[in-house]
């Protein structure tokens, strides 16, 4: 589940430049986190959410309450996207698997 910007935001814009995925945008004058781009900073060089860490307010950036299965599927899709982004991943997987099958028969 992505982070979101709340009504506590004072529009300082510090979080815009620190987000490693460029998920934070200004739309109609309001700061907004694109949930499709927010990775919770997982997989980046950062160990904590950068928007929350640098926010001068207490609750300007907060993690949205998460649903277990929604989180599970989000992680699953992220890992799958990483794997399938390697263009020949499934070709190589199939070649390797079929070779093993041939050798075992
Ligand atoms: S760092 Fe906090 S206060 Fe500043 S724009 Fe981002 S959410 Fe708003
Ligand atoms: S948690 Fe990380 S990736 Fe998500 S909006 Fe904040 S800084 Fe960007």
**Is there a single domain that holds both residue 50 and residue 9?**
yes
4: closest CA among 24, 26, 29, 27?
24
87 and 61 part of one domain: no
56 and 72 in one domain?
no
Q: How many domains does the chain have?
A: 2
- DSSP-derived letter for residue 88 is T
For position 89, what pLDDT does the model report?
72
53 and 76 belong to one structural domain: no
39 and 80 part of one domain: no
Q: How far is the CA of 26 from the centre of ligand 2 (A)?
A: 14
| Cα–Cα–Cα angle for 53, 83, 69, rounded to 5 degrees | 60
What pLDDT does 55 receive?
A: 95
What does the pLDDT profile of the chain (105 residues) look like in tens digits?
A: 789 999 999 999 999 999 999 999 999 999 999 999 999 998 888 889 999 999 999 889 998 877 788 778 877 877 777 777 766 777 778 888 888 777 776
One domain for residues 58 and 71: no
For the CA of 34, the nearest ligand: 2
- pLDDT value, residue 86: 65
Whether residue 55 is found in the same domain as residue 105: no
User: The domain containing residue 78 runs over which residues?
Assistant: 66-105
Please indicate whether residue 40, judged by its CB atom, sits closer than 6 Å to ligand 2.
Answer: yes
Instruction: For the chain, list the strands marked E by DSSP.
Output: 3-5, 24-27, 30-33, 61-63
> pLDDT at position 87, please?
62
Ligand 1: centre distance to CA 92 (Å)? 45
Give the domain CATH number at 57: 3.30.70.20
Ligand 2 proximity of 38 Cβ (cutoff 6 Å): yes
Q: Are residues 26 and 54 in the same domain?
A: yes
Q: Are residues 16 and 29 in the same domain?
A: yes
- The confidence score (pLDDT) of residue 28 equals 93
């Amino acid at each position: 589940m992505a982070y979101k910007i709340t009504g506590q935001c004072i529009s300082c814009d510090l979080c815009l430049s620190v987000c490693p995925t460029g998920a934070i945008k200004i739309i109609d004058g309001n700061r907004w986190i694109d949930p499709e781009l927010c990775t919770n900073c997982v997989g980046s060089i950062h160990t904590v959410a950068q928007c929350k860490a640098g926010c001068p307010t207490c609750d300007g950036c907060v993690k949205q309450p998460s649903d277990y299965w929604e989180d599970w599927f989000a992680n699953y899709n992220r890992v799958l996207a990483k794997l399938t982004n390697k263009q020949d991943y499934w070709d190589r997987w199939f070649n390797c698997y079929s070779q093993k099958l041939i050798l075992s028969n």
